[in-house]
Amino acid sequence: MGQEDLMNTAEDVADQFLRVTKQYLPHLARLCLISTFLEDGIRMWFQWNEQRDYIEATWSCGYFIATCFVLLNLIGQLGGCVLILSRNFVQYACFGLFGIIALQTVAYSILWDLKFLMRNLALGGGLLLLLAESRSEGKSMFAGVPSMGESSPKQYMQLGGRVLLVLMFMTLLHFDSNFFSILQNMVGTALIILVAIGFKTKLAALTLVVWLLAINVYFNAFWTIPAYKPMHDFLKYDFFQTTSVIGGLLLVVALGPGGVSMDEKKKEW
């Protein structure tokens, strides 16, 4: 079997998977996407004092402002999740969660940690894809702004979402000299490039979902660590953030790459 035949077979399998799951995939994608916000909002409730004391000590902002910060994170994240899952005011919920990401990036000094910053940007990419999905056909969020077509803003949101999502995989690259790491880096880099440029997008995104799911369950198994150990919370944070990126990739699989992609341009050739 030649390389082209193998690729065609893989695409047939992916198409069959999509046909079987098309009714459920967008719902699963949204649930995965908001999982990190849901987990973090619940954590704000159970670790209220610890989070408040951390913000108060780090920023010397006083008890009241630190309490408002925790409350805003709790209500903003849980409220946004409820709105997204119920399909009500999804655009406003996405903008609210964008704000939460920006707020936490500054408050927890993520801005200076390249790995966590890239993961937060990837999370933002997933929200951008959700925003594109929720955008109604007849209405533009960018009213009055010239566009190349009615769906142009949605297409560019999908492009931006795809590009930001691949930042997650750049944090997983290992610069070791052993064969497995080199192979993983080569395959992973090829797949993220395919997703970013929108070529064989659904197949590449589905492959990345499987790969990232395996890595997440293996390396971020927080349930194997006692809850009182700091590593438990660290792995739990990583697990749910990675799950959110998986949700973003599932949206790419379910909805396609959008108009600004090689897959779409191929139809015009």
Q: Is residue 13 part of a domain?
A: no
Q: Long-range contacts: 237-240, Cβ < 8 Å, 24+? A: 237/36, 237/40, 240/35, 240/36, 240/38, 240/39, 240/40
Q: Is residue 149 part of a domain?
A: no
Express each pLDDT in 115-129 by its tens digit.
888 989 999 999 999
Q: What is the pTM of this model?
A: 0.84
Q: What pLDDT score does 133 carry?
A: 86
Q: Is residue 189 part of a domain?
A: yes
Segment 109-120 shows an average pLDDT of 86
Q: How many independent structural domains does the chain possess?
A: 1
Q: Is residue 3 part of a domain?
A: no
Weakest mean pLDDT among 87-101, 108-122, 169-183, 243-257 = 169-183
Weakest mean pLDDT among 3-12, 78-87, 114-123 = 3-12
Q: What pLDDT score does 267 carry?
A: 63
Q: What pLDDT score does 16 carry?
A: 79
Segment 147-156 shows an average pLDDT of 64
Q: What pLDDT score does 167 carry?
A: 85
5 confidence band (pLDDT: 50, 70, 90)? low
Q: Is residue 180 part of a domain?
A: yes
Q: Is residue 172 part of a domain?
A: yes
Q: What pLDDT score does 156 carry?
A: 86
Residue with the bigger pLDDT between 11 and 225: it is 225
- Give the burial class of 17: count Cβ atoms within 10 A of its Cβ; 0-12 exposed, 13-18 middle, 19 or more buried: middle
Exposure string over 107-138, b if 16+ CB within 10 A, otherwise e: beebeeeeebebbbbbbbbbbbbbbbbbbeee
Segment 212-228 shows an average pLDDT of 91
Express each pLDDT in 13-51 by its tens digit.
777 777 777 788 889 999 999 999 999 999 999 999 999
Express each pLDDT in 194-208 by its tens digit.
888 888 888 889 998
Q: What pLDDT score does 143 carry?
A: 44
Q: Dihedral angle at the C-alpha atoms of 192, 193, 198, 200, nearest 10 degrees?
A: -80
- Find the domain containing 177 and state its range: 19-137+154-263
Is the pLDDT reported for residue 9 higher than 70? yes
Q: Is residue 30 part of a domain?
A: yes
Q: Is residue 268 part of a domain?
A: no
Segment 166-182 shows an average pLDDT of 76
